[in-house]
């Protein structure tokens, strides 16, 4: 009897060491039924952003809080899988959710090092934490994490778990999942990454902010080295591959450079269309929008605008540093990098802080850690600011915030963010598909889309529409018009007395209408408008898509004193290029949902097949012919360096050179370029459409038309090609050939006045 009483206390004493284990088992039994359902894993529906693609299917824009691209496990490259396992959980396919060997290994390492340097979370445990738990460091959270890991392993296959991890894990820069991170950091899909790039991504889950190659390239490199060594130790890569990967430089993308081509303004236009249609679902439901933008065209347009604006800026001098950073107390790399973090990037115009200044060189710390030295030609643009005669805010000194650029000649130079703005847009005249759209110099600095939102005076680029109206009133390219002074009172102009002048202030007397357009003579245009009346022209230009109320019926309309957008000019010039049809520009081909199901598709209206014919095909042919001569012999003659005979267009320079334009085309493409200041002011006395806007157009067209055969414009029916003399009369012995409507043939040289067509007399009476 007494011995039994001793038995129970003895049993309790023996069981005491097992009590924690028993308690854990009891807690697990109570907790396991309360764990969340795995439906969020088995029916995985993450927030997927709106993605915008080029016509070729290349990513050009993305909108949403979480950048994400979902992949099936068999779409993930084997090398990426192995890199992830090497970095995070090399025994993933062997353990049941908790790696007990890994726990022991981590504990030993931490004891030896005296700090918590290694964790023991498996990939399954990380999936449990990312989907269901917080990152709070508490025993209860860890306990639930382990139980969830067991539950996940019991319900999902290893490949399904790894697929969830690869798509869900946060990797910095708003990127969720490795496919999104590959685009963010390297601008390419996973299957195009090198071993070094793959290892860099695999090292990010441990601490995305600390090992981010954009924010902290040095720490990122250390983490990458660890992953590469682990891959080699596990036999995933050879020693030769390890050596090569270790020496590969880090070339992570910055800002929005993860896209294959710069199309920020167009992508924003797509976002606005989608938001109007789908509201907040736009950013989470994984819509894919395929645009009409062509990669080669967009890249060429972007380069043309950047180079054109930079060349203009270089012609007008250096304005001085952007700001000043006091380096007297701290010159450390950490301090410099922090000071530059809030300075907005601008593609290859890199922000930098001056560390040393000499008479012949400047040393500067660039955002991202590179230190560069600028000397010789690299200092030429800012040479004036290196002296001590300027005020402190204009002088380059230690601490100055400047911009540097590694130019195509291979050396560093001081540059600046231009103040002037620009726009470029191109499209097919046949159906309106927009091929390229650049709404400004830099979307990060100015989101105002100058292609669609900027209402500017078109200047002489508007003259072709006045000339087109005149053709319908009986004028011909051979009509003689007097280039002589005119004076108008306020009633005639709608504002104040006006004495129009030509750009060169010269008057050349009577000339043919074709010559007037070639030389862009203002007085010729005014006399034409005076003859056909502003009211008639105001109605006529609506055929091309212009707003009637933006062009008051006054004689100043002849010089482009109304308001247009570059997009409107694109529509208008397309009418000439396609033979008289009005095609509406559009930029969205189709919209698909996250599963690839087609939601909507644009039905383009083609010239000659559904599009409305708004002007006579003969009118279009005649205007094209005259604008070809503008390129061959007139204000756009620089374009002849492209070596083509099928180019046509018109320069435009407004009063006081506040806007400069070139609008031109070839039968397969129309393009509009513009340059000016947001708050209108003169571009400079010598800045014209031919000098400031045409080079951008030429840069683009030179690349896009490189392999396109030259086209010929066929003369339409009911037209006559006739030889004419300098007076615009038919002369079989003359060498000049002109085109006429059959009903508007001019009289023969030497014929009596009674033989002249009545409309010719009427026109002449109004022009002299």
Closest CA to 720 of 711, 705, 730, 710: 730
Q: Compute the distance between CA of residue 574 and CA of residue 562 in angstroms, rounded to an integer.
A: 20
Q: Compute the distance between CA of residue 360 and CA of residue 15 in angstroms, rounded to an integer.
A: 83
Q: Compute the distance between CA of residue 602 and CA of residue 291 in angstroms, rounded to an integer.
A: 10
> What's 690's DSSP letter?
I
Q: Compute the distance between CA of residue 494 and CA of residue 382 in angstroms, rounded to an integer.
A: 47
Q: Compute the distance between CA of residue 620 and CA of residue 660 in angstroms, rounded to an integer.
A: 24
SS3 272: helix
Residue from 54, 460, 461, 520 carrying the catalytic annotation: 460
Residues in the chain, total: 768
User: Is 460 labeled as catalytic in the residue annotation?
Assistant: yes
Cα 537 to Cα 41, 462, 472, 524: the distances in Å are: 66, 12, 10, 15
User: Is 495 labeled as catalytic in the residue annotation?
Assistant: no
Q: Compute the distance between CA of residue 649 and CA of residue 672 in angstroms, rounded to an integer.
A: 10
Question: Structure tokens of 679?
Answer: 């708050």
Q: Compute the distance between CA of residue 663 and CA of residue 270 in angstroms, rounded to an integer.
A: 25
Instruction: Tell me the CB-side half-sphere exposure of residue 748, using CA atoms within 13 A.
Output: 7
User: Helix axis angle, 123-132 relative to 78-88, nearest 10°?
Assistant: 90
Beta strand 588-592 pairing with 350-357: unpaired
Q: Compute the distance between CA of residue 459 and CA of residue 655 in angstroms, rounded to an integer.
A: 7
Residue 603 has a CB neighbour count (10 Å cut-off) of: 7
Q: Check: CB of residue 635 under 8 Å from CB of residue 689.
A: yes
Residue from 88, 197, 258, 337 carrying the catalytic annotation: 88
Q: Compute the distance between CA of residue 50 and CA of residue 46 in angstroms, rounded to an integer.
A: 13
CA angle 674, 680, 686 (to 5 degrees): 65
SS3 669: strand
Which residues are designated catalytic?
Answer: 88, 460
């Amino acid at each position: 009897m007494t011995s039994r009483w001793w038995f129970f206390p003895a049993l309790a004493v023996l069981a005491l060491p097992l009590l924690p284990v028993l308690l854990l088992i009891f807690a697990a039994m109570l907790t396991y039924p309360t764990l969340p359902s795995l439906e969020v894993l088995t029916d995985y529906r993450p927030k997927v952003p709106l993605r915008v693609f080029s016509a070729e299917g290349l990513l050009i824009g993305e909108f949403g809080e979480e950048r994400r691209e979902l992949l099936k496990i068999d779409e993930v490259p084997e090398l990426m899988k192995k890199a992830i396992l090497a970095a995070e959980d090399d025994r993933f396919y062997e353990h049941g959710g908790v790696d007990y060997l890994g726990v022991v290994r981590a504990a030993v390492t931490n004891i030896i090092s005296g700090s918590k340097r290694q964790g023991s979370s498996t990939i399954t445990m990380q999936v449990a934490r990312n989907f269901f738990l917080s990152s709070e460091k508490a025993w209860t959270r860890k306990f639930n994490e382990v139980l969830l890991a067991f539950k996940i392993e019991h319900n999902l296959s290893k490949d399904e778990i790894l697929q969830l991890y690869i798509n869900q894990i946060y990797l910095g820069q708003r990127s969720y999942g490795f496919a999104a991170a590959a685009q963010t950091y390297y601008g390419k899909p996973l299957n195009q990454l090198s071993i070094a790039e793959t290892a860099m991504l695999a090292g990010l889950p441990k601490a995305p902010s600390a090992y981010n190659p954009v924010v902290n390239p040095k720490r990122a490199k250390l983490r990458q080295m660890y992953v590469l060594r682990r891959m080699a130790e596990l036999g995933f890569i050879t020693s030769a591959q390890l050596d090569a990967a270790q020496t590969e430089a880090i070339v992570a993308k910055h800002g929005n450079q993860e896209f294959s081509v710069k199309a920020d303004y167009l992508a924003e236009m797509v976002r606005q269309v989608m938001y109007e249609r789908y509201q907040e679902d736009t950013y989470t439901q994984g819509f894919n929008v395929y645009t009409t933008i062509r990669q080669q065209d967009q890249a060429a347009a972007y380069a043309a605008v950047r180079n054109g604006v930079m060349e203009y800026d270089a012609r007008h001098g250096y304005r001085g540093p952007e700001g000043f950073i006091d380096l007297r107390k701290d010159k450390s790399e950490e301090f410099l990098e922090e000071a530059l973090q809030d300075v907005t990037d601008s593609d290859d115009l890199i922000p930098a802080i001056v560390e040393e200044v000499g008479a012949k060189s400047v040393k500067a710390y660039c955002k991202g850690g590179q230190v560069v030295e600028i000397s010789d030609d690299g200092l030429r643009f800012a040479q004036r600011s290196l002296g001590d005669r300027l005020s402190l805010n204009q002088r380059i000194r230690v601490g100055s915030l400047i911009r540097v650029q590694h130019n195509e000649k291979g050396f560093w130079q001081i540059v600046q963010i231009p103040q002037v703005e620009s726009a470029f847009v191109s499209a097919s005249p046949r159906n309106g598909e927009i091929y390229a759209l650049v709404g400004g110099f830099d979307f990060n600095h100015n989101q105002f889309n100058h292609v669609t939102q900027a209402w500017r005076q078109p200047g002489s680029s508007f003259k072709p529409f006045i000339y087109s109206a005149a053709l319908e009133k009986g004028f011909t390219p051979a009509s003689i018009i007097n280039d002589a002074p005119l004076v108008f009172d306020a009633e005639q102009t709608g504002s104040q007395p006006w004495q129009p002048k030509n750009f060169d202030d010269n008057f050349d007397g009577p000339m043919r209408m074709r010559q007037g357009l070639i030389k862009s003579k203002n007085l010729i245009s005014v006399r034409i408008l005076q003859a056909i009346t502003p009211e008639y022209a105001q109605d006529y230009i609506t055929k091309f898509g212009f707003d009637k109320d933006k062009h008051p019926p006054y004689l100043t309309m002849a010089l482009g004193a109304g308001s247009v957008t570059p997009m409107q000019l694109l529509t208008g010039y397309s009418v000439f290029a396609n033979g008289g049809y009005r095609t509406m520009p559009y930029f969205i081909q189709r919209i698909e949902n996250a599963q690839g199901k087609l939601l909507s598709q644009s039905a383009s209206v083609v010239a000659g097949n559904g599009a409305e014919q708004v002007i006579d095909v003969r009118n279009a042919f005649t205007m094209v012919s005259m604008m070809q001569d503008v390129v061959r012999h007139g204000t756009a003659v620089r374009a002849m360096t492209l070596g083509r005979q099928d180019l046509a267009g018109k320069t435009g320079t407004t009063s006081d050179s506040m806007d400069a334009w070139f609008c031109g085309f070839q039968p397969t493409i129309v393009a509009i370029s513009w340059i000016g200041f947001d708050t209108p002011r003169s571009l400079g006395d010598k800045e014209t459409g031919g000098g400031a806007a045409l080079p951008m157009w030429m840069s683009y067209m030179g690349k896009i038309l490189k392999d396109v055969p030259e086209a010929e414009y066929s003369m339409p029916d009911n037209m006559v090609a006739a030889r004419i003399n300098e007076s615009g009369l038919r002369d079989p012995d003359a060498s000049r050939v002109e085109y006429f409507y059959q009903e508007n043939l001019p009289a023969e040289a030497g014929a009596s006045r009674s033989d002249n067509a009545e409309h010719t007399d009427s026109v002449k009476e109004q022009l002299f």
